[in-house]
Structures are given as structure tokens and as C-alpha cells.
Amino acid sequence: MNLKQLNQFVVLAETLNFRIAASRLNMAQPPLSVSIRLLEEEIGERLFDRSTGGVKLTAVGKSVLEHARRTLFHAEQFRHSAHLVAGGQIGSLRISFVASSTIRLLPRSIAHFRANHPHVDLRLSEAGTNAIMTGLRDGLIDIGLVRYPTPNHPSVSTVIVESNYYVAALPIRHPKTAKQRLKLLDLRDEPFIMPSPLDGSAAYMSMMHACWHAGFVPNIVQEASQAQTIVALVESGLGVALVPNLWQGLAPRAVEFRQLYGMPKNQLGLAFACRREEEGAVLLRAFRKSVEHAAKPQI
């Protein structure tokens, strides 16, 4: 039994005429008769009474007609859904993101994606870069928006979508805010607030390397996991911080962000991450396109 036979059964049941049914099905009458007979033999019951007076549904035929219609309907729904999934119009994506992506990149990406894929279910969660990379490796999420540089996972592909550079975050009344050309070395004697090496070792090592390159080892008085927390601790006067320029969008009340002269050109920013084996998946490519669109300068 197949869907083609069920469709033939339904059309014949509606017309009760082999010639008309065959015409509607775009086939010859003899093959239709053979197909219906094979269907009856397979289920072990007659579906039609055939006589010189015409064709009539048997009691069995009448009782299974609605079931056949429902089966054909659900099969068509299945086919339609498969086309929508293949076209990236329905489905779901598990997306995990770092806090700093919410300043600009994530909301713009979601807005662009929603405009083109309104029926795709987005399941969002916030985490640190290390946790996101591990989640991708283990198949727990589909897409990550992470800080770059990232921990190395061979099975995970990353590409920078938004480049940043380091600036100094200082309490607004800090004496160094009066310096015209501030260098990182000028902060060598200051207490530093840094990302936790446990939650984001790549970001921690990148900032430590910048300090080493400037000629000093920072005096770390506090570690924190989230961008908002680090900036809030700077605002409290606990210390200074080396942060991506993107964090200026957090708009704290009492923190001044200052450009640092003579800084090395590091590859720093937000990256799109996914499992290498799934890079070609329709929905992943569609969301990456939205992320890349969101990362472009807004006119």
C-alpha cells in the first residue's frame, strides 16, 4: 500500500466511475482497475462492489474513506513541512551568546532573522565563551556568539563578525582621565579588574598579553565574568580595566573610556561559532547571514 494507491481509492470513491476517476488521475482505466484490485488484495477486504449497474463503496470502503483522506492530508502536510524546513522557513535554533553581544550584535541579528524567518523557533541562553564552545562541541547548542580569541576546539568553526580594540575603563574622577595621550603603561601601578581565567581564559590571556607587551604585569585585585560586572566594579572605584571598545555601549554613569596609544593590533572581537560539520545547514547559514548583516555599520 502506498500514497498513490490511497489517492486512487479516494478519487474513485468520490466519482464511483472508473473512467472519470482515471481521467481525473491522468491515467488509463485498466491500470487504475489493477491498482485498486491490488490494494484490496493487500488489505484483504473489498472496497468496491462492481456490477453492470456501476461501482459502489462497500461497508468497509465507506468506513475507511475518511481515514484515507486524513492520511493523504497529513502526508501533504509532511511534504509541505519538509519543503519549509529545507528552505529554512521553519525549525529551531539553540543560540548561546556572551553578554557583550547584547549591546548591539544580538538584538540586530534577531530582528533581521525574524523579518525573514518568522516561524523559526529561537531558543536563547547567555553564557561565557568557554561554556559556549564546550556546548557547541558537545552538541548542546547550534550557534554561539562568543568573544574572540576563543578556546581551541577542532570540531568548532569560528569567524570574527565584529572587530574591536582595547580601551581603558577608568572611574570618572580618576587622575589618569586628565592625561591627553594615555598609554597602557601609564596604568602599570593601578589595581586591575580582569575577566576570570576560569570563565573566559582566552579573553583573560589576551588582556594579560597586552599588559605584558606594554611592559608590566597587572596588579589584579578582582576578577569577574560579565562585562556589566567589570564595568560596574570600575564605576565603584575598585580599579581600572582593559576592555573592548564595544563595552562603551553599556553607558555607565561614572566610567570614562579612554583610547590607548601604542597598543598592538590584536585580533579581538565577537565571533560566530558553530560545529564544522553543520556549517552548511540552511538555518545556520541564514542566521550567520543575519549576524553579518547586523555587524555592518548602520547608516
My answer on whether 171 and 252 are in the same domain is yes
The CATH number for 141's domain is: 3.40.190.10
Nearest to 253 by CA among 231, 271, 272: 231
Query: Of 86, 109, 144, which closes a domain?
Result: 86
| Domain around 180 | 165-259
The CATH number for 75's domain is: 1.10.10.10
Per-residue pLDDT tens digits for 164-197: 889 999 998 899 998 989 999 999 999 999 988 8
Q: What confidence category does residue 113 fall into, taking pLDDT thresholds of 50, 70 and 90? A: very high
Other C-beta atoms lying within 10 Å of the C-beta of residue 170: 25
- Whether 127 is covered by a domain: the verdict is yes
Burial of residue 173, with CB atoms counted within 10 A of its CB: 0-12 exposed, 13-18 middle, 19 or more buried: exposed
- Whether 116 is covered by a domain: the verdict is yes
Residue 143: pLDDT over 80: yes
- Whether 264 is covered by a domain: the verdict is no
Report CA-CA distances (Å) from 34 to 38, 65, 78.
6, 19, 28
| Mean pLDDT, range 18-37, rounded to an integer | 91
How many structural domains compose the chain?
3
